[in-house]
Structure 1
Amino acid sequence: MGLISRIYGCFHPPTPPKSSDAIRFGVLGAADIAPLALFKPAKTHPEVIVQAISARDRKKAEEYAKTHGVLEVKDTYQEILDDPNIDAVFIPLPNGLHFEWAVRAIRAGKHVLLEKPCTSNSTEAEILFSLPELDQPDEPVLLEAFHNRFYPSWALFRSLVKPAEIERIETRSMIPWWASNKNQIHFNYNLSGGAIMAMGTYNFAALRLLFGDSPEECVSCDAKAFTDGIHDKCDYEFEATFRFPNGGIGIASSTLMGEAIIKPSWVTVYIKEAIIPNDTLSAGQTQYQERELTLQGLVHGVFWHRIDVKEINEIRTKEGAVIRKWEETSSRKAYTWKEAGGEFANLPGETYWMSYRHQLEQFTQYWVEREDSIAQMKMVDMAYEKSGLGPRPTSWFR
C-alpha cells in the first residue's frame, strides 16, 4: 500500500493556497515534459504559480493551457520574457533551442530553470554560463534541471561513496522501443538529438559526481546511429568508457530503443579492495574487503529505488592463501530527507514528492556551480567525438 499511496500522491497532490509574493513562471513551449517537471510540482508549492505559456501554434498553446490550468497564453516566447509580471521561465524546448532562449531569458532578467542538457555542446555552455548578467547584483538564477540530483536517495547514495576509493563505476538507463520513434526530437540532429543527449546525460552526471571530477579521457564510445539519410548522426544506443584522474574507470550506457519491459536506471560503484582491521585474527592473517554499492532507480527514485550494499570479505595468510570468504549485504531507501538522515535530515519534503518537486523547492536555494554544467557538456562532447558522430551542432544565435 505504501507504493500505491506514494504514486497516487505524486499525481494527485494537495494544493495549498498561494502566497501573495509567489514566483510566477512562464513556460516556453508546450512540451510533454512540462506537466511532470513543473505543473504538478507547482500545484503543491505555495510560492510557485505557472502564469503563462507560449508555443509555436497559438491554438495548441490555448488547448494545452486549458488542460493544465495555465493562466495565460502569449503569442510568442519573447512576450513571456517581456512581461514584468513573470519572474522565472522554464525552458523545455528541443535541445538545439536551449542556448538561445536561455541567453534571451537571462538578458531579460528572468530566473531560468533550463531542461537538461543545458545546451547542445560545451561551446554554448561556456558562453551561457559566463554571461556578465550572472555576475551582477541580484543576478538571476540559472539552474540546469537535472531533477534526480535533488532527490533524497541520490544524496544518501553519494554520502556513502568516497571518490578516492572508487575503482570502477557502471551505470545504465533506458527507454523501451514502444515509447520512442524516429519522429521524436531525440532523433533530429539539427535539434541536437541523440541517446547521449536524452538519457545518457543522467549516466554521465552520475559518473562525474561520484568520482568528484571530470574524466581525463573517453577511452571508447560505441554508438549505434541511424544511417537512413534523414536521422543520420543521431545515436539511439551507446556505451561509453571514461578514465578518471584517480585511475578509476566509468562505464555509461543507454538506449532509446530498449526492451519492451521498462527497467529502472541504475548505477553501481565498485570500491577498491581495502584492509579491514580485525583483532580476532591469528598472526599472519589479514582481512580484505571489496564493496559494491548500487542505486536502483537512479532517474525516477519516487516510483521505486533501493540502495544495495554488498561487502565481499576474505581472510588471507601473508602468502595469499584464502582461509575464509563471505558476503554481507544490506539495503536502504530514502523517499524523504528524514530517511536520508545526516546533514539532510531537516530539509523539507514529503514521501510523495517526486524529484521534480524537490528540484522546484531548491530552485532558488540549491546552488550548482556554473562550472558543473560546462563540465557536463565537455563530457558529452568527448563521447560524441570518440563515437565518430561528432558533437551536436552549435546554434547560429549569439
Structure 2
Amino acid sequence: MRIGTLGAARIAPAALIKPARSVPEVQVAAVAARDRSRAAEFAAKHGIPMVHDSYEALIDDPSIDAVYNPLPNALHAEWTIRALEAGKHVLCEKPFASNEKEARTVADAADKSGLVVMEAFHYRYHPLAERMASIVGELGEIEQIETALCFPLPRFSDIRYSLPLSGGALMDAGCYAVHLARFLGGGEPAVESARALLRKPQVDRAMTATLRFPSGASGRVTASMWSSHVLKIAARVTGSRGQMRVTNFIAPQVFHRLSYTVDGVKKRERVAGEATYTYQLRAFLSAVQTGEGNLTPPATSIANMAVIDEIYRKAGLSPRGMI
C-alpha cells in the first residue's frame, strides 16, 4: 500500500513514517505541503521519494492508494472527503472533524465510496486497550468512569489555540478523554455539565465535564493544554466489586501503570507491546486489504464528536466550526 501524507506535520514521523518501517507492506510514497520547499525538506529527511506541489496533486496521483490526513482540525473533513472522491482510503488524525455535522458528512462520503476511513485514535489499537476493557468487565456494576488528558502547551500562538482552525483543549486533548470514557463506559453518555477555562473568547485552554451513561454510571472528563493540571494522562473506573487505575493509556509502549482491585484483591500488570502507531498502521492496512480491523470507523467518530459538541454547549461555548 502506497500512502501519501498531506502536509509535513510534526506528528507524521511518529504516527506514520516510523511505523511504516515496521510494516513492510506500507510505503510512505509522497508528501505535499502548501510550501513546496518545506515538503521537499521533509521528504529528504524521511526518505520519501515523491514531493507534490499541492494537496490536490497528491490525492489525484494514481500511484497513491491511501492518504494520511494530519492537517489542522478545520481541514480534516474537507480533505478527507476530497481524498475519498479521488478514490483514496484515508487515515485521518483526530479529531475527525470540527463537529458532529461535519463528521456525518464525512461518514456519508465514506459509505458512498466504499473506501476505508479510520480516525487515528492510536491507543485503541494497543493491547492495553483491550486489557482495560476486560478488567472493567470484572468490576461488577460500573459506578464511575474518570478519564483525563492534560499536558502543558504554553506556546499560545500554536494552531491548537486557533478558533478558525477548530482548536481548543477539548478538541486536542479532550477528544482522547471523551473517546476513552465512551469505550470503557460501554454506551453513549449524556453530558450533564461542563466548565471551560478560556485562553481567549470561545477557545478553551482547559475543560471538565460530567457525564451520565445509559447504565446509570457517572463520568468525568478532564482536558487541559494550560491549567493547574500540568500533566495527567489517566483513567479510573470504579465498580461495585473494585476499581481500575491506568496511567498513560496514550503511549503505553513508553511507560504505563495498570492496577486494579477486584473483591479486595489488588493486582498490577504491564501490557507489553509495540508502539500504538505501529498497531494502528497494521490495522489500517488490514482494513484496506480485507475490510477487517477498523476499530475507529466513522460511526464512532460521529458519536465522539456529538459528545464533544454537547460539552462545548454545556460550557456555554459554540461547537467548533459553528460560530
Match of 2:33?
55
Match of 1:192?
166
> C-alpha separation between the residues in 2 aligned to 1:260 and 1:270?
22
Match of 1:360?
281
C-alpha displacement at 1:306, in angstroms? Answer: 2.2
C-alpha displacement at 1:310, in angstroms? Answer: 2.1
After superposition, where does 1:93-112 map in structure 2 within 5 Å? 93-112=71-90
SS of the equivalent of 1:190 reads coil
SS of the equivalent of 2:164 reads helix
After superposition, where does 1:62-101 map in structure 2 within 5 Å? 62-101=40-79
After superposition, where does 1:25-64 map in structure 2 within 5 Å? 25-64=3-42
> C-alpha separation between the residues in 1 aligned to 2:42 and 2:228?
31
CA offsets, 1:158-178, max 9 Å, x none? 1122397211011111112xx
Alignment partner for residue 222 of structure 1, among 171, 174, 195?
195
Aligned: 1:299 with 2:250: yes
Alignment partner for residue 267 of structure 2, among 330, 350, 355?
330
C-alpha displacement at 1:358, in angstroms? Answer: 0.4
CA offsets, 1:85-115, max 9 Å, x none? 0000000000000010000001111010000
> C-alpha separation between the residues in 1 aligned to 2:245 and 2:257?
8
Match of 1:144?
119
Match of 2:238?
270
CA offsets, 1:169-203, max 9 Å, x none? 11111112xx4411111100010000000011111
Which shifted more, 104-113 or 251-260? 251-260
Would the aligned equivalents of 1:241 and 1:250 in 2 still touch at CA under 8 Å? yes
> C-alpha separation between the residues in 2 aligned to 1:165 and 1:184?
42
Query: What RMSD in Å do the two structures reach over aligned CA positions?
Result: 1.8
SS of the equivalent of 1:254 reads strand
C-alpha displacement at 1:370, in angstroms? Answer: 2.9
The residue type equivalent to 2:222 in the other structure is S
Answer with 1 or 2: which has the greater Rg: 1
CA offsets, 1:325-373, max 9 Å, x none? xx4311111123xxxxxxxxxxxxxxxx210000001112312343211
Taking structure 1 as reference, are residues 192 and 164 closer, same or farther at Cα in structure 2, changes over 3 Å only? Answer: farther
Q: Name the TM-score, length of structure 1 as normaliser.
A: 0.76
After superposition, where does 1:211-290 map in structure 2 within 5 Å? 211-215=185-189, 217-227=190-200, 232-258=201-227, 262-263=231-232, 265-272=233-240, 290=241
The residue type equivalent to 1:218 in the other structure is V
Would the aligned equivalents of 2:151 and 2:230 in 1 still touch at CA under 8 Å? no
Segments ≥4 residues shifted beyond 6 Å: none
The gaps in structure 2 that reach 5 residues or longer are none
Would the aligned equivalents of 2:119 and 2:298 in 1 still touch at CA under 8 Å? no
> C-alpha separation between the residues in 1 aligned to 2:238 and 2:140?
12
Would the aligned equivalents of 1:164 and 1:211 in 2 still touch at CA under 8 Å? no
Taking structure 1 as reference, are residues 240 and 41 closer, same or farther at Cα in structure 2, changes over 3 Å only? Answer: same
> C-alpha separation between the residues in 1 aligned to 2:246 and 2:173?
16
Would the aligned equivalents of 1:117 and 1:201 in 2 still touch at CA under 8 Å? yes
Count of aligned positions? 315
Aligned: 1:166 with 2:134: no
